[in-house]
Structure 1
Amino acid sequence: MNFGLCHNVSRQIRFISLRRVQIDLRSSPLKCFCRVYVPLVAHKKKWQEYKHKRTKFEYERSNHFWQHFWSLFTTRGGITASSAFSIFSWFKWHKEEDITPETKLVEAIKRSVLCIQREQFDKAEQMLHLALRMAQDINSKEGIIYIYDVMANLAMEREQYTKAEKLFADVMRSLLADGHTETSPQILHISSKLAHMAQLQGDLEKAQLGFVWTLKGIQKNIEELDYDKDVQELFGLTKNWFGQLQLRQAKYEDAKKNFQEAFELLTDLYGPSNDKIIIILNNLSVTCVHLEDYTGAKNYIEHALTIAKDLNDIAQQGILEANLGLIYFHEGFLAKAKQICQNAYRIGKKCNNDDAVEQAEYCLNEIKATSASE
Structure 2
Amino acid sequence: MIVKNFGKLAQVLCRTRFMRTMVVSPHDYTIRAHIGYKSLAQESRTLGSVYMDQQQERQRHQEQSEQNSKYPHTGLVFAAMFSFNLFGDGEKEEETPETKLVNTIKRSILCIQKEQYDKAEQMLHLALRMAQDMRSTNGITYVYDVMANLAMEREQFKKAETLFVDVMRRLMADGHTEDSPKILHISSKIAHMSQLQGDLVKSFQGFQWTLQRLAKLVKEMPENSDVLELYGLTKNWFGQLLMKQGKYEEAKNLFTEALNILVDVYGYLNDASVTILNNISVAYVNLEKYAEAKETLLRALNIAKELKDTAQEGIIQANLGLVYLREGLLAEAEDFCKLAWKIGKSNSNADALEQAEYCLNEIKSYMKG
Q: Give the TM-score, by structure 2 length.
A: 0.84
1:80 to 20, 23, 44: 44
**Counterpart position of 2:8:** 16
2:343 to 341, 347, 368: 347
**Counterpart position of 1:356:** 352
Amino acid in the other structure paired with 1:27: T
SS at match of 2:202: helix
The correspondence of residues 238-257 of structure 1 with structure 2, limited to 5 A, is 238-257=234-253
Matched, 1:308 2:304: yes
**Structure 2 CA distance for partners of 1:89 and 1:117, relative to 1, 3 Å:** farther
Deviation track 1:2-34 (CA, whole Å, cap 9, x = no partner) reads xx963xxxxx664432456xxx64425x43xx5
Q: C-alpha distance in 1, partners of 2:226/2:362?
A: 43
Contact 1:294–1:327 under 8 Å retained in 2: yes
**Counterpart position of 1:35:** 21
**Structure 2 CA distance for partners of 1:132 and 1:314, relative to 1, 3 Å:** same
2:276 to 276, 280, 284: 280
Matched, 1:180 2:176: yes
Contact 1:25–1:237 under 8 Å retained in 2: no
2:102 to 94, 99, 106: 106
Contact 1:25–1:79 under 8 Å retained in 2: no
**Counterpart position of 1:164:** 160
Matched, 1:130 2:126: yes
Q: Give the TM-score, by structure 1 length.
A: 0.83
Q: C-alpha distance in 1, partners of 2:361/2:42?
A: 31
**Structure 2 CA distance for partners of 1:230 and 1:64, relative to 1, 3 Å:** farther
**Structure 2 CA distance for partners of 1:191 and 1:26, relative to 1, 3 Å:** farther
The correspondence of residues 310-349 of structure 1 with structure 2, limited to 5 A, is 310-349=306-345
The correspondence of residues 285-300 of structure 1 with structure 2, limited to 5 A, is 285-300=281-296
Contact 1:15–1:323 under 8 Å retained in 2: no
Amino acid in the other structure paired with 1:35: T
Q: C-alpha distance in 1, partners of 2:93/2:148?
A: 33
1:365 to 357, 361, 366: 361
Gapped runs of 5+ residues in structure 1?
7-11, 37-57
Amino acid in the other structure paired with 1:258: L
Equivalences, count: 334
Contact 2:51–2:139 under 8 Å retained in 1: yes
Deviation track 1:119-166 (CA, whole Å, cap 9, x = no partner) reads 111111111111111111112221111111111011111111110010
* Percent of residue pairs bearing the same amino acid type: 53
**Counterpart position of 2:193:** 197
C-alpha displacement of 1:169: 0.7
Q: C-alpha distance in 2, partners of 1:162/1:127?
A: 21
Contact 2:101–2:127 under 8 Å retained in 1: yes
**Counterpart position of 2:225:** 229
SS at match of 2:45: coil
Deviation track 1:35-72 (CA, whole Å, cap 9, x = no partner) reads 25xxxxxxxxxxxxxxxxxxxxx545x86893xx8667
**Counterpart position of 2:151:** 155
Contact 1:25–1:240 under 8 Å retained in 2: no
SS at match of 1:16: helix
**Structure 2 CA distance for partners of 1:193 and 1:18, relative to 1, 3 Å:** same
**Structure 2 CA distance for partners of 1:370 and 1:5, relative to 1, 3 Å:** closer
Deviation track 1:75-101 (CA, whole Å, cap 9, x = no partner) reads 9x9743253624588884356414211
Q: C-alpha distance in 2, partners of 1:184/1:225?
A: 12
**Structure 2 CA distance for partners of 1:186 and 1:133, relative to 1, 3 Å:** same
